[in-house]
Amino acid sequence: MRTSIIAKYAAGLALAGLLAGAGAPALQAQWYGRNKVQYKKFEFQIMKTRHFDVYYYLSNEE
């Protein structure tokens, strides 16, 4: 009798975990990209070195 109570508890806990996990991707998808910073125009400068290129922009150029 005791094993059936433990089995029911474990099955209920597993079901609750599955239901909680199933709703997580849908909730995350609603907020993805909502706070994305959008700029109208960037004027990047490129500093080329021997092994890599550095892309930057001057924000306070006068």
Tell me what percent of the residues of the chain surpass a pLDDT of 90: 11
> Is 61 a domain residue?
no
In degrees, rounded to 5, the angle at the alpha carbon of residue 10 between the alpha carbons of residues 20 and 12 is 45
Collapsing DSSP to helix, strand or coil, 45 comes out as strand
Domain extent, residue 28, equals 2-56
> Is 62 a domain residue?
no
Total domains in the chain come to 1
> Is 39 a domain residue?
yes
- State which residues of the chain have pLDDT below 70: 1-3, 21-34, 39, 59-62
Distance CA 41, CA 58 (A): 12
> Is 25 a domain residue?
yes
Model pTM score = 0.35
> Is 28 a domain residue?
yes
> Is 10 a domain residue?
yes
Q: DSSP assignment, residue 40?
A: S
